[in-house]
Structure 1
Amino acid sequence: MKAEIIAVGSELLLGQITNTNATYISKQLANIGIDIYYHTVVGDNDVRLKDAIEVAKGRSDLLIFTGGLGPTKDDVTKETVAQIVEQPLVYDPASLQAIEEFFTSRNKTMTENNKKQALVIKGSTVLANECGLAPGMAVVKDGIYYLLFPGPPKELQPMFENAGKPYLTSNLPDLVPLESRVLRFFGIGESRLETELMDIIEAQSNPTIAPLAGEGEVTLRLTVKHIEPDVRKQMLDEVEKKIVERVGEFLYGYDDTSLLEEVIDTLLKQNMTISTAESLTGGMFSEQLTNLPGASSFFKGAIVCYATKVKETLLGVSSETLQQFGAVSKETAIEMARQIKQLCDSNIGISFTGVAGPDPQEDKPVGTVFIAIATNTKEVVHELHITGSRQQIRERTIKNGCYYLVKELKKVE
């Protein structure tokens, strides 16, 4: 079955709101084995909506509509679909009663146009709206399924979960569930990752492998279709094993995790604490760590030592190191990490020093970065040359710091 989502609303075309409904529905359909082939967005215009439906009928078996079920004149979805399926609109008694009770319970007068929300396509399956007024509906014509949902996500999502999905799974019994697993990589570019895995990617049809580049990292989405959950897991495990054998050193996590979340999770699991000394990042890393409620259980403190004098007087980096090697050096980075660890009495100290731009510093070009990590047993420093804007250099420095932290923490496990 080929599915198409048709989102109705001029506000979507104007960029006033984001089409989050399409993202949600696509994920839900994929989970039950329905392939999404097209996303369409059309304004509140019955002529253009009818044209969009005619195009969709020629290429899709399941049309899912969001929006346009409200009480105003520009809510045209069900009227237009009713014309397409050649059925009149009729009042649904249960929906009309619910709307009347809504206004009565609030001591408000129900205007006549609100009754419009209780209109449904004759012969359709009504999908109850537990969080709003306008019901959804499902109707079949000439082998094509039309499902209509309200636009507000707070109404659409529970309706889809409680009524839409059960309708689809009961009326389309041959669906084969789909399952995905996302592998997250850092420290390797998309082109190199794809080159390393090209023969595996080309040989796969089920599971499929889809690379996707993000900000400073790469993901691989493994997607499998099979009726049995145990078989799906086995198939995903097998292809993941092949991938890890080649590029496992760059794998840091799965699915919706992030480098920062991996750092925090590992610190919590190992009951370890961290402190930070930040120069070019200006406290950005500490701010990200403390965004998590309960951060005091793993985060001891930080010093933002932007000026060289502060590195010496407040953090305790030796004047000899600063004079001989400069503030942007591996030697200074190591002392910064060592000193912050001691000052905060933490298990780990991490430091960031470098040149974010726009001008060079100490004859070091923009993008020169040193990240040092001090633990109870070792001290390591990494020299990087990062490209991008000033903000990108700072953000990418933090991501690299998280990656190196994850690698060091994994060694302790």
Structure 2
Amino acid sequence: MKAEIIAVGTELLLGQIVNTNAQYLSQELAAMGIDVYYQTVVGDNASRLQGAIELASQRADILILTGGIGPTQDDLTKDALAAHVGRSLHIDRLAMDQIERFFAGRGINMTENNRRQALVIDGSTPLPNETGLAVGLALAQEDNFYIVLPGPPKELKPMFDQQAKPWLLQHALTDEMPIYSKMLKFAGIGESLLEDRLLDLIDGQTDPTIAPYAKEGEVTVRISTKAPTEQEAMEKLNAMQGQIQSRLADHMYASMDVPIERIIVDMMADRGITLSAAESCTGGMLMESITSIPGSATMFVGGIVCYSNEMKEKLLHVPHALLEGDDAPGAVSAEVAEVLAENVRMITDSDFGLSVTGVAGPGYSERKPVGLVYVGIAQRGQKTEVFELKLNGNRETIRVRSVKTLLYRLWQRLVSTDRATGESKDQV
């Protein structure tokens, strides 16, 4: 089955809103075994919208329209689709009741135009909106299947997941075998090098299929297969995972779609290991990534953002001679990264102490180039390690890559410690 996503809204064309809905829907449809060949964005114009629907209906089996179903006169999606399929619109009573209750409960007079949000096409299936007011709809006509969803992601995502997806499985995918996928996560390796390591598998892929995706500081590989049963699918997926993992064991940290900080939090919490951090150029980003994970309170004891040299001296007792003076290595140095990691670990009495200090940009600091970063890992009873990073990108990219690289190095240390003590566990 082929699908096309049509996003409606002049604000998208003007760049005022980023079309994150298309990314979400493409991922969800791919997981269902539906190929998205086109994504279209069209403004709030009736004739252009009808033209986009007409073209999409000729080249796709499933049309998913997002946005343009609110209360105002420029919300034209349902009108345009009704004209295309040659049907009328009517008020869905349940949707209208929900809208009326919303306004009554807030003591606000409902304007007449809000009735537009309860419109559905004759013969369609209304898709209730659990987080907003505009009802969606699903419609099958001839060889096409149409889904209409609201534009706000907080409304679109639950409606697609809870309403539209089951409808598609029941009406559009009746003859399709379900698709099963596993997401393999990698850190400490770029997308191009990872692809090179797997090139023969990717070039020769038939079933399962292999698809790499890159984000800042990590890479995801999705392996997918179609099978009549989950057991048969898992046999094929696990075999492919084994081949990939054997080539990239030093980089594969999980077999599910989670960030590396989630794996680190779980590993340390399970083992009763504690962590602290001292951050300079990343300004708390490392600590935020850790503490955003549920359960981090059991393993993260605290940290210090020591942005200035004065704070490095006062709070973390970095010797002045390391920071300033003709012969001083300076704040951006391996020596300072080592002291920061060791001292934050001792001050907090944690098992591990992390540090990061560097030049995020946009200009030089201490006559050192943008992208020069040092990260440190201190471990109770072990020698402290410091890694020099030479990173490219803008200020935000350098900060993110610094954090992700340090987390990868910490994960490596935890895995090697497990192996040395015989506590090695399979990846999640």
State the TM-score bracket (shorter-chain normalisation).
0.7 to 0.9
* CA drift at 1:199: 0.5
State the distance in 2 between where 1:129 and 1:179 align: 28
CA change 1:315–1:210 in 2 (3 A) is: same
Change (3 A) 1:337 1:56: same
Q: CA deviation at 1:49?
A: 0.7
Partner of 1:409: 414
CA shift in 2, pair 1:61/1:409, >3 Å = same
Given the two structures, how large is their TM-score scaled by the length of structure 1?
0.85
Worse-matched range after superposition: 401-410 or 166-175:
166-175
Deviations along 1:30-57, whole A, 9 cap, x unmatched? 3333222222221221100111011102
Cα distance, 1:308 vs structure 2: 5.8
Shift of 1:304: 4.7
Larger radius of gyration: 1
Letter in 2 for 1:344: T
Q: Answer whether contact 1:277 1:350 (CA < 8 A) is retained.
A: yes
- Judged with a 3 Å threshold, the aligned counterparts in structure 2 of structure 1 residues 381 and 128 are, in CA distance, closer, same or farther, namely closer
Unaligned runs of 5+ in 1: none
Distance 1:19 1:366, change over 3 A: closer
Going from structure 1 to structure 2, the CA distance change for 1:60 and 1:375 (only over 3 Å counts) comes to same
Residue identity in the other structure for 1:349: G
Q: Structure 1: how far apart are the matches of 2:131 and 2:228?
A: 33
1:406 Cα deviation from its structure 2 partner: 0.9
**Cα distance, 1:359 vs structure 2:** 3.0
Structure 2 counterpart of 1:66: 66
Distance 2:151 2:310 in 1: 57
Number of the residue aligned with 2:422: none
The residue aligned with 2:348 is 344
Q: Distance in 2 between matches of 1:26 and 1:175?
A: 18
Report the Cα distance in structure 1 between the residues aligned to 2:49 and 2:81, rounded to whole angstroms.
Answer: 9
Aligned to 1:395: 400
- SS in structure 2 of the partner of residue 382 of structure 1: strand
Worse-matched range after superposition: 149-158 or 308-317: 308-317
The letter of the residue matching 1:176 is M
Between stretches 303-312 and 139-148, larger displacement belongs to 303-312
Say whether residues 1:85 and 2:103 are aligned partners.
no
Aligned to 2:202: 201
Aligned residues: 412
Letter in 2 for 1:340: V
For the structure 1 residues 311 and 28, does the alpha-carbon distance in structure 2 shift closer, same or farther, using more than 3 Å as the test? closer
Per-residue deviation at 1:338? 2.6
1:217 corresponds in structure 2 to: 218
State the TM-score, normalized to the length of structure 2.
Answer: 0.83
Q: 1:233 to 1:333 in 2, by over 3 A?
A: same
Cα drift, residue 332 of structure 1:
4.5
Letter matched to residue 386 of structure 2: V
Matched, 1:273 2:277: no
Q: Where in structure 2 are the equivalents of 1:60-209 lying within 5 Å?
A: 60-96=60-96, 99=99, 111-172=111-172, 173-209=174-210
**Counterparts of 1:315 and 1:190 in 2: how far apart (Å)?**
37
Aligned to 2:19: 19
- Whether the 8 Å CA contact 2:345–2:353 is kept in 1: the answer is yes
Kindly provide the amino acid, as one letter, of the partner of residue 329 in structure 2.
Answer: G
Instruction: Measure the CA separation in 2 of the matches of 1:74 and 1:265.
Output: 49
Letter in 1 for 2:389: L
Superposition CA RMSD, Å:
3.2
CA distance in 1, matches of 2:261, 2:22: 28
Whole-Å separation in 1 of the counterparts to 2:118 and 2:311? 68
Say if 2:338 is the partner of 1:334: yes
1:386 aligns with 2:405: no
**Contact 1:30–1:177, Cα closer than 8 Å, also in 2:** no
Aligned to 2:239: 238
The separation in 2 between residues aligned to 1:99 and 1:275, in whole angstroms, is 50
TM-superposed deviation, 1:77: 1.9
The answer on whether the counterparts of 2:138 and 2:147 sit within 8 Å (CA) in structure 1 is yes
Query: 1:165: how far off?
Result: 2.5
* Percent identity for Structure 1 against Structure 2: 47
Checking the alignment, whether the CA contact within 8 Å between 1:368 and 1:383 is kept in structure 2 is yes
SS in 2 for 1:58: helix
Q: Do the aligned residues in 2 keep the contact of 1:34 with 1:175 (CA within 8 Å)?
A: no
**Cα distance, 1:201 vs structure 2:** 0.7
